[in-house]
Copies of this chain bind each other. A is one copy, B any other.
Amino acid sequence: MNQADQATLMAIPLFSDLPVSVIEHLAEVGFVQAQPADAVLFQEGEDPRFLHVILSGRVALCCSAGGTEARGVARQTVVEIFNAGDVVIAPAVLLNRPYLLAAQILEPGRIAFLPATYMRELLETNQGFAREAALMLARHWRLLARQLKDQKLRSAPQRLARYLLSITRDQRSGPVQVEISLDRRTLASWLGMSPENLSRSIAQLAELGVHFRGRAVSIDSIARLHAYCAEDDLV
């Protein structure tokens, strides 16, 4: 692991509190790989051997309905998307249990591979690491909780509206321009709908003053979107 990667790692909360000796040991036992698009970090069902940290690029957590699928084709869905600075599925690593989801590279980047056994050891021995791990997992739990909530009681266009609001987290009202950083197929899967239905949802939001031009989106009124998707403003 080179100096730059090491510096990137240390900037992440989970590692920022570790003593230099530990960081250096991590840099020794761990390694960094540049990953091309669509590369698979691990499959669901695999036993975790590394804790994966995204130094750059993006990673999608996917899953497919395993085994004998009733309707023929195996369906697949994107559960979560992680960015640079995020840690990919610590739960499986810390508990030493098989992954529930697969991880696939969405945008090529550099991924740090840190040995799972050493991470579990750190959890036992290092106060700061254990604390930051708990806080990180707490944040990740809230991400999933929000997703599940959206999935269970909001319609497809509402979920799209929520996504748009989530990428304009700073502003509370007024007009805004944003860029969508995902292709439609992936976004549709993440939001829990078919690509066709995403298209229709996009068309539907036009009535609310939301206009798509490729990946650029212009929103006339943030407040109007909030009202539409019954946003509860909880972060």
Residues of B within 8 A of A215 (CB): none
Interface size of A in residues (CB-CB distance below 8 Å): 61
Say whether chain A's binding surface is mostly helix, strand, loop, or mixed.
Answer: helix
- Report the Cα distance A232→B68, complex, angstroms: 10
A175 at the interface (CB under 8 A from B): no
Q: In whole Å, how far is A222's beta carbon from the nearest beta carbon of chain B?
A: 14
Over the window 34-46 of chain A, the binary record of Cβ atoms lying under 8 Å from chain B Cβ atoms (1 yes, 0 no) is 0000000000110
Residues 130-147 (chain A) with a chain B CB within 8 angstroms = 130-131, 133-135, 137-142, 144-147
A1 at the interface (CB under 8 A from B): no
Residues of B within 8 A of A134 (CB): 94, 123, 130, 133-134, 137
- Report the Cα distance A69→B158, complex, angstroms: 11
Residues of B within 8 A of A169 (CB): none
Over the window 63-107 of chain A, the binary record of Cβ atoms lying under 8 Å from chain B Cβ atoms (1 yes, 0 no) is 111111110000111010000000000111011011111000000
Chain B residue at smallest Cβ distance from A146: B100
B141 and A131 form a contact (CB under 8 A): no
A149 at the interface (CB under 8 A from B): yes
Which of B67, B127, B131 contacts A231, CB < 8 Å? B67
Residues of B within 8 A of A99 (CB): 234
Residues of B within 8 A of A234 (CB): 44-45, 98-100
- Report the Cα distance A149→B153, complex, angstroms: 16
A-side residues, CB < 8 A to B, are: 44-45, 63-70, 75-77, 79, 90-92, 94-95, 97-101, 123-127, 130-131, 133-135, 137-142, 144-149, 151-155, 158, 192, 226-228, 230-232, 234-235
6 closest A-B pairs by beta carbon, nearest first, are A66-B232, A130-B130, A91-B138, A137-B137, A133-B134, A144-B144
Extra contacts, 20 of them, besides A98-B234, A100-B234, A141-B141 (Cβ < 8 A), are A64-B153, A68-B227, A70-B155, A70-B228, A70-B230, A77-B149, A79-B145, A79-B152, A90-B138, A91-B141, A91-B142, A91-B145, A95-B139, A101-B149, A124-B131, A130-B130, A133-B134, A134-B134, A137-B137, A137-B138
